[in-house]
Amino acid sequence: MSRTAILSAIRRGLKRGPLPADQQAMLTSRLKTHPRGLIPARGQLDLPGRIALFTNQAEREFATVAHLAAPAEIPAAIAAYLARLHLPPTLTISPHPALRAIPFAATPALQIRSGTALPAESTCLTLAFAGIAETGTLLLPSGPQTPTTNNILPDNSLVLLPAARITASYEDAFDLLRAEASLPRNVMLITGPSRSADIEQTLELGAHGPRRLHILILDGQG
């Protein structure tokens, strides 16, 4: 059997049999404590500093960022964004309570649907679990209320990010995720809109994922 053959070949090469119990225990304890490696100093800032760094880094990677003071401002901000880019005023929101609670009824110009993105989806609104200041990266876990499809299928991706969830490092964001439950089926780290440099090493935005990434940072949310 291949499994036995591969493991035996590795052990033969390393000139030992299966690891002794004490060594296995040490490695198991390393897995349990999953120690952090070196974390760059760049993101180690207070919350306003992390928000500012996140914004700079995300914009550097061709995302756009808007800062909003309250959930009531979201519908008008989205309507204005879509109008400015001459995009259809339709929006599919991931079926998450935090997104369904947004008072869209006040902005009737927007056509809202809640659910999973359809093949020809123009724009989706998703909820980031965390933002990582270090590189302006969003962390989006999968789940019944946050389908992965909505992150990648639409032409335009709008992401709501509560400011308080902006962490210094990837490690901090994964700690938050580990605290919630077991690892979700899919966890995406997203840094900017889709792109390719496959044609003559020249960067072009809008490959197979969203052509635009617009991040709505919502202040004062815990």
Site for other proteins in 189-208 (CB under 8 A): 189-202, 204, 206-208
x/- string (CB under 8 A) for other proteins, residues 57-76?
x---x---------------
Q: Are 183 and 33 in contact (CB under 8 A)?
A: no
- Give the footprint of other proteins on residues 98-117 (CB under 8 A): 115-116
**Terminal CA-to-CA distance of the chain, rounded, Å?**
53
Using CA atoms, how far residue 31 sits from 24, 26, 34, 85, in Å, is: 10, 9, 5, 48
Helix (H) or strand (E) holding 92: strand 90-93
Question: For other proteins, how many residues bind (rule: CB under 8 A)?
Answer: 74
**Binds other proteins (CB under 8 A): choice among 170, 214, 215, 218:** 170
Q: What phi and psi values does residue 93 have, to the nearest 5 degrees?
A: -105, 145
CB of 106 to other proteins, least distance (A): 28
| Closest CB to other proteins among residues 40, 220 | 40
Q: Does 41 bind other proteins (CB under 8 A)?
A: yes
28-37 contacts at long range (C-beta below 8 A, 24 or more positions apart): 36/171
Q: Does 135 bind other proteins (CB under 8 A)?
A: yes
Q: Does 86 bind other proteins (CB under 8 A)?
A: no
